[in-house]
Structure 1
Amino acid sequence: MRSTEQQAFTAPHGIALRYGMFYGGDTARIRPQLMKRRLPVADGGLLPWVHVEDAAAATVAALEQGRAGQAYNVADDEPATFAQVFTAMARSFGAPPPRRLPAWPLRLAAPLVVAFAMDTNLRVSTAKAQTELGWRPAYPSYREGVVAMARG
């Protein structure tokens, strides 16, 4: 990540944005999967999340207000596990809760994804983005974001 940011900073007005896990832009693909319980979840680590509309707003704010050579975290206010987010999505869509699996079969199927999604606890501060860019997420947590996702 540092190497990528350093490359961005070599540009005349380079700014780096560190986004949380995206959600909200793929309702047409995720809803049927959740309805059929085809997205199993397992307990895992806490990750920062950001609705795609909030990510877009932060990107615009960074282009308009950001300072060259700076990095900004872009995430909502509540880290969550994949299980929490996808369970909330299912509830918002009126789908049954996702199947819960132990970690070991998921580790066999997708070891790198699982290592990141289940073994990582990452909390970030967005105070700098809020202060310097004037950005705040419209969806303060995945809870509000998935409700909007289901409506939209």
Structure 2
Amino acid sequence: DAILVSIPPDSGHDPALHAFADAIAAGPAHWIGYLSTIGVYGDQGGAWIDEATPPAPTHQRTRDRVAAEEAWLALGARTGKAVQVFRLSGIYGPGRNAFEKLRQGKAQRIVKPGQVFNRIHVDDIATTLAASLDRPRPGAVYNVTDDEPAPPQDVTAFAADLAGLPLPPAVDFDTASLSPMARSFYGENKRVRNRLIREELGVALAYPTYREGLRGLV
């Protein structure tokens, strides 16, 4: 009855759609969800954005994401199936959070003035998907994110204090040891609104900010 696609694009196309488009079009699924990323908005200079903001991808991986979104939405328009796109912010939850990085000695308190990121707890992603299953809207695009875009160094410091773990020293972004992928994330700065999932789907986030999320995990 439903298909949830979480596979990232590969070589410029969506693997699931590439392999199974005909079977999906002919099959019984009435709800299709595609998990995308808020990375499709690119760099917005720290401005507030919502689903009406046009995508402005700055990397090939996010350009591929936009193409995948468009392909899934086109399948929905062509077949009459309810296809929804969910643009996720930084996912965290059990086994994937600031505490794990602190305990493993991998956490860095990187400081780049003005930089913020949105996050989303995995449980709140599940809640949003369940709400959409109950209220499908063909062609819908939703930002699935928390209420408070925050500087990453603040999240690390809050986690260290909660867990009684050593606080890593502050490191200037320009001199930080980062992979090219991690450094590219810092090149994009935006504040993402989640009003649509609340008003249309009736979602009440269990973890509206990183504080509630980390308290729940500690």
Q: What range is the shorter-chain TM-score in?
A: 0.7 to 0.9
Query: Alignment partner of 2:109: what SS?
Result: coil
How far apart are residue 25 of structure 1 and its match? Answer: 2.4
| 1:37-76 to 2 correspondences below 5 Å | 37-44=105-112, 45-76=115-146
Report which of the two structures shows the higher radius of gyration computed on alpha carbons: 2
Higher RCO structure (Cα 8 Å, ≥6 apart):
1
Residue 39 to residue 53, structure 1, CA distance change in 2 (3 Å): same
**How many pairs were matched up?**
147
| Cα RMSD after superposing both structures | 2.1
| 1:3-152 to 2 correspondences below 5 Å | 3-9=67-73, 10-11=75-76, 12-26=81-95, 31=99, 33-35=101-103, 37-44=105-112, 45-106=115-176, 109-116=178-185, 118-150=186-218
How far apart are residue 32 of structure 1 and its match? Answer: 5.1
Query: Alignment partner of 1:72: what SS?
Result: strand
The percent of aligned pairs where both chains have the same amino acid is 28
Q: TM-score, normalised by structure 1?
A: 0.84
How far apart are residue 80 of structure 1 and its match? Answer: 1.1
Rounded Cα–Cα distance in structure 1 between residues aligned with 2:137 and 2:126:
18
Q: Deviations over 1:99-152 (max 9, x none)?
A: 32122343x641231121x232211121111111111211111111101010xx
Q: TM-score, normalised by structure 2?
A: 0.61
Counterpart residue identity of residue 179, structure 2: A
Name structure 2 gaps, 5 residues minimum: 1-39, 41-65
Name structure 1 gaps, 5 residues minimum: none
Counterpart residue identity of residue 126, structure 1: N
Query: Alignment partner of 2:86: what SS?
Result: strand
Larger strand percent: 2
**Is contact 1:58–1:74 with CA below 8 Å preserved after alignment?**
yes
Counterpart residue identity of residue 193, structure 2: S
Query: Alignment partner of 1:18: what SS?
Result: strand
Larger helix percent: 1
Query: Alignment partner of 2:139: what SS?
Result: coil
